[in-house]
Amino acid sequence: MAAEGYQQSSSDVQMEGGKLFIQSIVDPQPGDAILDLGCGTGELSAYLAELVEPEGFVVGVDPDVKRLNLAKESHRDIKNLTFVEGNSDNFEGMGCEKYDIIFLNQVLHWIPDQQQAFKNMFSSLKEGGKIAIRYTDHFPPYIATALEVLTPEIEERVKNSSYHVDKVSVDRFCVTEGFEIVKSCYANDIKVEFQSVDAYLKWLWSTFHGKFDQNLVTEERIQQFLTRVGNPPFDFTTENVNTRLVAVKPKERTDVHDEDAEL
Ligand SMILES: C[S@@+](CC[C@H](N)C(=O)[O-])C[C@H]1O[C@@H](n2cnc3c(N)ncnc32)[C@H](O)[C@@H]1O
């Protein structure tokens, strides 16, 4: 199952980078209300829930019901954590100024209309609340090469299932909706290593929700791939550059109104 495959591999790749991001910049506080948008199998939601307990809570939202069911099953003992089906256009608390933090780890590049997503996030945050987004703003070469060489028949279809938008445009979406950017930077923050060809193929399959068809991968294509990237273990760390964005919904300025009142 792609969802189980994702859960196993995500603990290495997504979890490590996500935790680092949370610890270094996101800075959740006890009592915070957090939305983990695109929570996948919920490992980082569970970590966030621990950081904000006892009064704070986390809502994990994902459109992939299989991943969400695994999340519910795996983290059912955590009292301040709930998982609800949804997506960036329709999620628990949307438009209700409910959250202190909206967190997205490696989700933005799966969202087709990112401008709309920023609009929805803005209306769902409390004043002074923040978005914390870790994403990839280009298709990483180690994935592009694999699709090109191993599954050329479906290369375009698989590539087009994600929506990589460059950092400058993402920053523009963010500011257009009224956010103030606190940090927007690149980070080469995690090791991306696979011990074998099989491990890498399995990861591709699960990360593309089963759309990466392993049946198309012949022995001959594997040899071509190895000629391009070298023999396993693979270390794709230097090719894996992430983008980190933290931005705040400004508090309404009361001083301007006060001055108006005096006139
Ligand atoms: C790479 S996974 C990251 C999962 C999780 N955040 C983590 O760090 O392990 C991307 C997730 O985004 C979800 N996703 C795809 N499109 C989405 C959308 N429009 N809104 C919210 N989540 C979406 C996918 O179902 C998937 O679980």
**Across the chain, what does the average pLDDT equal?**
92
pLDDT digits over 69-88, tens only?
Answer: 999 999 999 999 999 999 99
For residue 64, which atom of ligand 1 is closest to its CA? 25
Percent of the chain with pLDDT over 90: 83
Break the chain into its structural domains and give their ranges.
Answer: 2-139+163-191+240-251
Q: Residues lining ligand 1, judged by CB closer than 6 Å?
A: 10, 14, 18, 37-40, 44, 62-64, 67, 87-88, 105-107, 110-111
Q: Which amino acid is at 98?
A: K
What number of CA atoms fall less than 13 Å from residue 76's CA on the CB side? Answer: 5
Between the CA of 8 and the centroid of ligand 1 the distance, in Å, is 15
Between the CA of 230 and the centroid of ligand 1 the distance, in Å, is 30
At 167, the pLDDT band (50, 70, 90 cuts) reads very high
Tell me which of 3.40.50.150, 1.20.1440.230, 1.20.1560.10, 3.40.50.10540 is the CATH number of domain 2-139+163-191+240-251. 3.40.50.150
Which residue has a Cα nearest atom 13 of ligand 1?
A: 38
pLDDT digits over 113-138, tens only?
Answer: 999 999 999 999 999 999 999 999 99
Beta strands in the chain (DSSP E): 33-37, 57-62, 81-85, 99-105, 125-135, 180-187, 193-194, 234-235, 242-248
Between the CA of 143 and the centroid of ligand 1 the distance, in Å, is 18
pLDDT value for 257: 57
| pLDDT of 252 higher than 90 | no
Between the CA of 206 and the centroid of ligand 1 the distance, in Å, is 12
Which residue has a Cα nearest atom 26 of ligand 1?
A: 40
Q: What is d(CA 52, CA 15) in angstroms, rounded to the nearest whole number?
A: 18
pTM of the full structure: 0.90
Q: What is d(CA 239, CA 230) in angstroms, rounded to the nearest whole number?
A: 14
What are 42's two structure tokens?
A: 């919920």
For residue 104, which atom of ligand 1 is closest to its CA? 6
